[in-house]
Structure 1
Amino acid sequence: MKLSIRHQTVYRYAASQAYSIQQLHVTPRLEAQQSVLSWNLQAPGAVNAYTDAYGNRSHMLTLNEPHRTVAIVAEGVVQTTALYQGRLHNSEPLSPLVFTVPTRLTTPTDAVKDYAARHLGLARAGRADTTSMLTLAAAIRQSVTYTSGATSVHTSGHDAMLLGAGVCQDHAHLFLACCHALGVPARYVSGYIDPGSSGHAASHAWVDAWVIDSDFEGWISIDVTHARLMSHAYCRLAIGRDYDSAAPVRGSRRGAGDETMAVEVLIVPV
């Protein structure tokens, strides 16, 4: 499948800013199941490319002159291929145990541990199979209703569980927290999804989990929000321990006044 993707992020400030710095994860990863046919990144200031600790294709944007807007546009065409049962076959230097370490957003509180025990009762400590991971995703989808605006990027998986509402990043954080409760390696994924006939397109978040099946041991990719395995309709931008380490755009500024951020994403199969 070929996906034409355009992702625009615009920051607007009420007062002139002296300095801005943004970490960008808006270039698709180099992975076996996807290849970048063309890609272009447009942004003001100095943009320096690098590969981060998780193997993500990253850029650091710095703007060191007075400004009241920052516009970032990433666009191109990505070729994706179908995965068998959501299984990834990428060669990676990092041990999966790197992704057993909780973060502020994925801490397995006592309430999360109880939740994980109820929905992952058949999973043994430190290991799980594809079936149990999909069971957990379905439970989260049912107990945390997708509700735009109910949470923020600072909301933890625990808080979204108690609230009973959230968006894709909250589903992912709660899933990761449940996996951490059992010592199962799991990581956050940011990227895009072909919206199909829904008419909605946006950045998306899902998870990779380390499974041990009868015929496979390794990473599988699960869209918790839709309780299904990743298919060729997905484009992967970055992986990390949580939103903070894999967000498409994240940074800070030096200057007074309020700010607004507008994001527009267009994804079209070609």
Structure 2
Amino acid sequence: MPIFNIHHITRYEYNRPVKESTNEIKIYPYQCPEQETLRHELIISGHPEVQVFTDYWGNRFGSFNVLPLHQELTIESKLVVRTTASSQLRINFHGSFEQLAQEVNGQLQLLELATAESIALQKEIEEIAAHIQERARSVAAAVEYCGEYIFKHFQYIKGITNIETTVDEVLQHRAGVCQDFAHLMLHILRTLGIPSRYVSGYICPNKNGMRGEGATHAWIEAWIPGFGWAGIDPTNNVWVTNNHVKLAVGRHFIDCTPVKGSFKGPARQILSVYVSVGYEDGHTFEEINNVNTPTDGSVTTEDGDSEGFANQQQ
């Protein structure tokens, strides 16, 4: 069972003093049997009191305020986590769509996660879904084929999308990054009636190497009848075992945004995000993102989208 040391720093710098910075953070490890938190230290500028709650999806999140004038806000997370999932797949590949319907019936959250939203290119999604269902004899097989389809037919290219990119735009680009592939896969699976949810977290060092390694990452989990939630990473075309560390789950990225908030003041901000993932053999993977998020005016400025862009577009 591997142990990972994860260091995650989010830093906002302002060109003039701001005040009343109110923030929500979802950088706590998700509580589940597949991972064990050995140590977690959170350091925030000014040492504000952090109130911790649990949201609708079961995510722990913190809320805090920095009221005095300040020109920098740093949120630092130092995490040591052991992944306890088996490196061998134990997913039920015999669960049928009929069995899925029985399990979902009456479960409001599963029903919500099995319902696809309407998009302009829904016909194209339906064609992909039909192609997948023709090959699949079980729910797990359909999920696996879906991840394989995205991996083979969509290019992994950084910089052509952002956190506001829609599924329609991903279909048009035929390219994107982990967040885009997660949203696309969610839409296809929900069109098939398979409950599925967005997952944010970290992808940790692997001897074979993976896209997005050493940085924050996004993948999905699908509900497999006779098994439960199973993670699959369409960016790398792999089922999730013990190289992924989970932070939050939800219907879309917005439910899992690592940091979001607002402040008061006519300031421009510069955001930088540093993430390092250290493996127990001493290897360390690092990534630094610098994002300019200029804002004008003397009212509230949204911080969260900028943090989400820097963290999730891997």
TM-score where L is the length of structure 2: 0.75
Quick one: distance in 1 between partners of 2:247 and 2:177? 18
* Residues 96-120 of structure 1 deviation map (CA, whole Å, 9 limit, x = unaligned): 2231345xxxx44252442343244
Quick one: distance in 1 between partners of 2:169 and 2:132? 25
Amino acid at match of 1:54: W
Cα distance 1:18–1:25, how it changes in 2: closer, same or farther (>3 A)? same
Quick one: distance in 2 between partners of 1:87 and 1:256? 53
Cα distance 1:155–1:54, how it changes in 2: closer, same or farther (>3 A)? same
Q: Give 3-state SS (helix, strand or coil) of 1:232's partner.
A: coil
Quick one: distance in 2 between partners of 1:131 and 1:6? 36
* Residues 41-80 of structure 1 deviation map (CA, whole Å, 9 limit, x = unaligned): 1113332111111111110122112112110111121111
The reply to whether residue 68 of structure 1 matches residue 71 of structure 2 is yes
Moved more, 248-257 or 70-79: 248-257
**Matched length:** 257
Cα distance 1:252–1:164, how it changes in 2: closer, same or farther (>3 A)? farther
Q: 2:110 aligns with which of 82, 89, 96?
A: 96
State the Cα distance separating 1:24 from its structure 2 match: 0.8
Cα distance 1:108–1:209, how it changes in 2: closer, same or farther (>3 A)? farther
Q: Which residue of 1 is the match for residue 173 of structure 2?
A: 163
Q: Which residue of 2 is the match for residue 82 of structure 1?
A: 85
The reply to whether residue 50 of structure 1 matches residue 53 of structure 2 is yes
Q: 1:117 aligns with which of 127, 135, 147?
A: 127
State the Cα distance separating 1:164 from its structure 2 match: 1.9
Quick one: distance in 1 between partners of 2:254 and 2:150? 21
State the Cα distance separating 1:247 from its structure 2 match: 1.6
The reply to whether residue 229 of structure 1 matches residue 239 of structure 2 is yes
Quick one: distance in 2 between partners of 1:149 and 1:195? 23
State the Cα distance separating 1:134 from its structure 2 match: 1.6
Quick one: distance in 1 between partners of 2:91 and 2:54? 24
State the Cα distance separating 1:122 from its structure 2 match: 4.9
Quick one: distance in 1 between partners of 2:4 and 2:224? 28
Quick one: distance in 1 between partners of 2:203 and 2:66? 30
Quick one: distance in 1 between partners of 2:189 and 2:248? 20
Cα distance 1:201–1:248, how it changes in 2: closer, same or farther (>3 A)? same
Cα distance 1:122–1:153, how it changes in 2: closer, same or farther (>3 A)? closer
State the Cα distance separating 1:251 from its structure 2 match: 2.0
Quick one: distance in 2 between partners of 1:241 and 1:86? 25
State the Cα distance separating 1:14 from its structure 2 match: 2.1
State the Cα distance separating 1:259 from its structure 2 match: 1.8
Amino acid at match of 1:164: R
Cα distance 1:13–1:136, how it changes in 2: closer, same or farther (>3 A)? same
- Aligned identity (percent) is 29
State the Cα distance separating 1:218 from its structure 2 match: 2.2
Q: 2:221 aligns with which of 198, 203, 208?
A: 208
Quick one: distance in 1 between partners of 2:132 and 2:157? 30
Contact 2:35 2:85 in 1 (8 A): no
Q: Which residue of 2 is the match for residue 153 of structure 1?
A: 163
Structure 1 gap segments, 5+ residues each: none
Contact 1:4 1:76 in 2 (8 A): yes
Amino acid at match of 2:114: T
Moved more, 235-244 or 259-268: 259-268
State the Cα distance separating 1:128 from its structure 2 match: 5.7
State the Cα distance separating 1:262 from its structure 2 match: 1.0
State the Cα distance separating 1:85 from its structure 2 match: 2.6
Contact 2:198 2:253 in 1 (8 A): yes
Amino acid at match of 2:217: H
State the Cα distance separating 1:234 from its structure 2 match: 0.9
Amino acid at match of 1:250: K
Structure 2 gap segments, 5+ residues each: 93-106, 281-314
Cα distance 1:51–1:220, how it changes in 2: closer, same or farther (>3 A)? same
Q: 2:150 aligns with which of 117, 140, 153?
A: 140
Q: 1:189 aligns with which of 180, 192, 199?
A: 199
Q: Give 3-state SS (helix, strand or coil) of 2:121's partner.
A: helix
Higher relative contact order (CA 8 A, sep 6+): 1
Amino acid at match of 1:142: K
Quick one: distance in 2 between partners of 1:21 and 1:195? 34
TM-score where L is the length of structure 1: 0.86
Cα distance 1:149–1:195, how it changes in 2: closer, same or farther (>3 A)? farther
